[in-house]
Amino acid sequence: MSRPSTTTTTTEINANNLSKIPQWLNKEFFKPAFKQVLNFKEISSIIPITTETPDKTVASDFIRVLLEVKLTAISTEDAVLVLEDFSRKKFHNVDRFKGFDMLHMRWALRKLAEFHAATTVYCETEGPYPDLYQESFCNASNIRMVKRITEKRQLHFRNAMRQWGLPHVEDFIKKMPTIKDYMEAVLNSNNVDPNEINVLNHGQLFNTNILFNYNESGVIDEAIFIGFQHCNYGSPAQDLWQLIITSAELDIKIREFDHFLFIYHAHLIECLKLLKYETEKSWPTLMDIQQMMFKYGFWGPIAANTTLCNLLLPTSEQSSFENMFRPGHEGDILRYKSFTNPHYAKAMCQLIPFFAYKGI
C-alpha cells in the first residue's frame, strides 16, 4: 500500500506525542484497506497513539491506531475483519531481561503447538501456502544484503567473546561456523523436506511478540502471538529454537531444553488428533522433533547472535535497529557494546558451550 501525500490535521488526531506521528498516517492511508470491507461507508475518526516499545533494537516502530468506522449496513452474508486492541484485555509482555519462567514457557510452547498444528492441517487440506511463505528471511534475492549485515557483526562478536570470561574461548572461536556456513544452511532450509512435518513458522517468536493476561489471582489466563510479518513454511525447529534461546529464563534455557521439546510434542500430537490430521506421512514422534532440532540446529546460534543480543541490550537513544547496522565508527561502537553487554555475556557463556557440545 502506498503512502498518501495528504496531510493530517491535528483535529483528526488525539495522540500523546504529535511530533512522532507521521503526516501520512491519516484517514486516507487506511481507506484502501477498508474499501475491501463490504458495506464500508467512511472512517469517522482516527486516533494514533505513539507507544514506547520494550526494545528499540527491533526493526519496527509501533504506533497504536484507534479507528472508528461506519458501515452502510450489515447482512448475515457479510465478512467483517475486526482486529482486537489487546491492551483492553490487559495483555502485556514479560520482562525481556528476565525471560519466561517454566509456567510461561509451558503456555508459549502449547500455544506454538496449537498454531503449528493448525497450519500443517490447513496445508494438507487446502493445498500449499502462497509463494510469499515459501522462504525464510534469507533467500536468493537478499542473500548479499544479509551477508553484508552479518559481516559487520562477526569481527566485533569474536572480539567481544574474549571479554566474557568464557573458559577455553579460543577453542570455541576456532570451531565456530563461518558466515558462509550459516548463510548456506539458511538458504538450504528453504528447500522443505516433504518427508518431515512442516508448519507455518511465526518467524519472529521471541518474548516481545508473545503477550499474556492474568486472572484476578495472578494466574495466566491466556497467551497470544503478535508480529506475524515473517511467517515462512518449513520445519517447526525454526520457531522452537528461537523461542527457547531468546525467551526462556537463563536458569532453565539449557537445563529444561529437552523438557521443552517434550511439552511441545505432546500438545502438538493432541492438537493434530483434535483437528483430525490425515497424512500419508508418519506422525512426528518426539525423536523426530529432537532430530529436527539437531538437523536445523543452526537456527539456535543465529537466534543467539542476533535476536537475543538485541533483546538484552538496554534501551537508549543510540540502541536502534538502524544504528546497529549502520556502517562506520558509531555503528561499530554500538555493535561492540551490544556484544559486551553483561546480560548478553552471561547468557552466551552458557549457550556457546551448549551449541558446541551439540555439534552445531
The domain locations on the chain are: 10-83, 102-357
Q: What is the DSSP string of 305-357?
A: IIIIHHHTSPP-SS--HHHHT--SHHHHHHHHHHHH-HHHHHHHHHHHHHHHH
Residue 317 has pLDDT above 70, yes or no: no
The better pLDDT of the pair 12, 113 is held by: 113
pLDDT average, residue stretch 309-334? 75
Residue 357 has pLDDT above 70, yes or no: yes
Residue 341 has pLDDT above 90, yes or no: yes
**pLDDT digits over 261-310, tens only?**
999 999 999 999 999 998 888 899 999 999 999 999 999 999 999 899 98
Q: Please state, in angstroms and rounded to a whole number, the distance separating the CA atoms of residues 228 and 223.
A: 15
Residue 355 has pLDDT above 70, yes or no: yes
Q: Give the confidence band of 80 by pLDDT, cuts at 50, 70, 90.
A: very low
The torsion angles phi and psi of 213, rounded to 5 degrees, stand at: -130, 165
Residue 319 has pLDDT above 70, yes or no: no
Residue 327, pLDDT score: 66
Residue 125 has pLDDT above 60, yes or no: yes
Cell of 158: 569474536
Q: Bin 316: left if φ > 0, else alpha if -120 < ψ < 50, else beta.
A: beta
**pLDDT digits over 20-57, tens only?**
678 888 888 888 877 766 677 888 888 887 655 545 55
Q: Please state, in angstroms and rounded to a whole number, the distance separating the CA atoms of residues 97 and 315.
A: 11
Q: Please state, in angstroms and rounded to a whole number, the distance separating the CA atoms of residues 239 and 242.
A: 5
Q: Would you say 211 and 93 are in contact if contact means Cβ atoms under 8 Å apart?
A: yes
End-to-end CA distance of the chain: 41
Q: Would you say 148 and 250 are in contact if contact means Cβ atoms under 8 Å apart?
A: no
Selection from 43-47, 151-155, 318-322 with the highest mean pLDDT? 43-47
Q: Mention every residue, 6+ apart, whose C-beta is less than 8 A from residue 301.
A: 177, 182, 355, 360
pLDDT average, residue stretch 82-93? 77
Q: How far is CA 127 from CA 130, 149, 158, 199, 274, in A?
A: 9, 35, 44, 13, 20
Cell of 57: 533494537
E strands, 115-250, are: 199-201, 210-214, 220-225, 232-234
Residue 17 has pLDDT above 70, yes or no: no
Percent of the chain with pLDDT over 70: 84
pLDDT average, residue stretch 112-118? 98
Class of domain 102-357: alpha beta
Residue 259, pLDDT score: 98
